[in-house]
Structure formats: structure tokens, C-alpha cells
Amino acid sequence: MSIDLSPIDKAKFVAAKRAAQYVESGMKVGLGTGSTASWLVKCLGEMVRDDGLKIQGVPTSSRTAALAREVGIEVISLDEAKWLDICIDGADEFDPNLNLIKGGGGAHLQEKIVATASDQMIVITDASKSVETLGAFPLPLEVIPFGWQTTKTIVEEALVGMDVLGRNVSLRMNGDAPYVTDEGNHILDLHLNRIGNARQLSLVLNQIPGVVENGLFIDICDAVVIGYGDGRAEVRDINNGTVDETKFDFLAEDNIFGDVAE
């Protein structure tokens, strides 16, 4: 890995490197989407190439699928896998109970399906994503294109009765056009600032016709691996109630991670 990596990229790398230690030959592995998850896919690709690791990966987006194939990971669908040993993914926010906001990359629907079809979910992230209360990061809401403006109005009305600080709802754009997910849907970003009762909000939002899935991951994550720019990786395991730390040394030699920084 290049020693010219920024502190944030080093943090992402060590988190991915530590999380890759959970993966063993023969496993079916859910592969997340986003810049941090890309590091994980590269780490696993190196293990496939250099260590003979044999896994099957179930990607959570077309972008991740392309990267996984590029680094030599066998890619299969969730229907082929049926159930996964582990899912490793990033997060936009996580709280002390390891509840998450995901979907900044627009793939939270597939990510939630894959995560809930896994024996365990490991989140890889950096310390900046740790919050006391979820909500500073806009909550993504995937909606079908048909009648999305009506769906948006109903969502705004529903937020009036919720324990949130903000209620601004915006359609995610991709240039001059609405952002389109892998499933052909749109995303509404809910700017809530603080979510007082994430479980209640998740249930209410998913009852609204036109809503496909929200980006709240409640009681799904088993452990968070937090990377730091100095090479430390901290693991917080919610099931065992443990916290442990690993230190990685950075070497000034080229390898497959040289082109991952995003």
C-alpha cells in the first residue's frame, strides 16, 4: 500500500484489513457498497490471489460486483447463495447500540436484504461515523418512481408526528436527473438532524405506500470495525460486549490497493 494515502484512506484500509480476518475459505460473503467497502473487496481479492482463499461473494450493487470480479472473487447471486456466513459493509452513521444509517451510496435496499440474510454483519468505518444519536446524516428512503411526489408529501406529513428535529425531504439527484437505483427506483433524503426513536420511525416509513425501504439498520449489525489513520483498528462487538484493538504497520511497497482511494 502506498505511504502517500491520506489519514482517512489509511483508516478505511485498516478497518477493511481487520474485517477481512473474519472471512475463511468456504464462506459465502455479502460484499457492501461504497468507498470503505471497496477496500474490503480489494483486501479479499488479495487474499484470493496470494493466500488461496476460496469464497463466493454476493455483491450489494452492480459497482461492487464489477470490482469483485476484477480482483478475482467468484460472484454469485443471493438466490444462488440462499444464505450467507457473513456480510461486511460500510455505514454512514452508527450509534452506541450499533444501529446504523446506510444508503449514502444509494444501495441500502440490496444492502439490507443481504445483511439480514447473513449469520453476522460486520460494519467497517472510521471514527467520524460514530454518533450518540442517529440523524445528522440524511436518512435515505428508496421509493418507486410512480407518484413519488405524492409519496414525498405523505412522508412529510408522517414526520410531523415523529421525534425528529428536522423534516426537510429532498429528491436525490444525479446531475439534472433524479438518481436511479439498481432497481430503477428514486431516493428521497430525509434531513432529520436527530432521530429520537429510530425503531418507530423505521416502522412508520415502511408502511407508506410507494416506499420500498429506508436506510435505518436496527438490530442488524453485530460488530463495528473502526479504522484510524495511525494504523489502529478497533472492534466493538455488540453481542460479546467487547472492545479490542489491532495495530497495522504500513509498508512503502506497491500492491493492489494503489488505485482504491476514492
| Residue 145 · residue 184 · CB < 8 Å | yes
Q: Is 241 annotated as a binding residue?
A: no
Strands 121-126 and 86-89: parallel
Find cell 472492534 and name the residue: 235
Q: Which residues contact 151 (CB under 8 A, 6 or more apart)?
A: 143, 144, 188, 208, 209, 210, 211
Q: Is 25 annotated as a binding residue?
A: no
Q: Is 12 annotated as a binding residue?
A: no
For the chain, the first-to-last Cα distance in angstroms comes to 15
Task: For residue 65, give the nearest of 75, 53, 78 by alpha carbon.
Answer: 75
Asked about 70 being catalytic, the answer comes back as no
Q: Is 116 annotated as a binding residue?
A: no
Q: Is 103 annotated as a binding residue?
A: yes
**How far, in Å, CA of 197 to CA of 47, rounded?**
41
Q: Is 246 annotated as a binding residue?
A: no
| Residue 121 · residue 85 · CB < 8 Å | no
Q: Is 129 annotated as a binding residue?
A: yes
**Pick the catalytic residue: 24, 46, 93, 111?**
111
Q: Is 95 annotated as a binding residue?
A: no
**How far, in Å, CA of 60 to CA of 151, rounded?**
25
Q: Which residues contact 253 (CB under 8 A, 6 or more apart)?
A: 1
Q: Is 92 annotated as a binding residue?
A: yes
**How far, in Å, CA of 147 to CA of 131, rounded?**
34
Q: Is 181 annotated as a binding residue?
A: no
Q: Is 227 annotated as a binding residue?
A: no
| Residue 182 · residue 107 · CB < 8 Å | yes
Q: Is 89 annotated as a binding residue?
A: yes
Q: Is 45 annotated as a binding residue?
A: no
The annotated binding site for substrate is made up of: 33-36, 89-92, 102-105, 129
What positions carry a catalytic annotation?
111
Q: Which residues are known binding-site members?
A: 33-36, 89-92, 102-105, 129
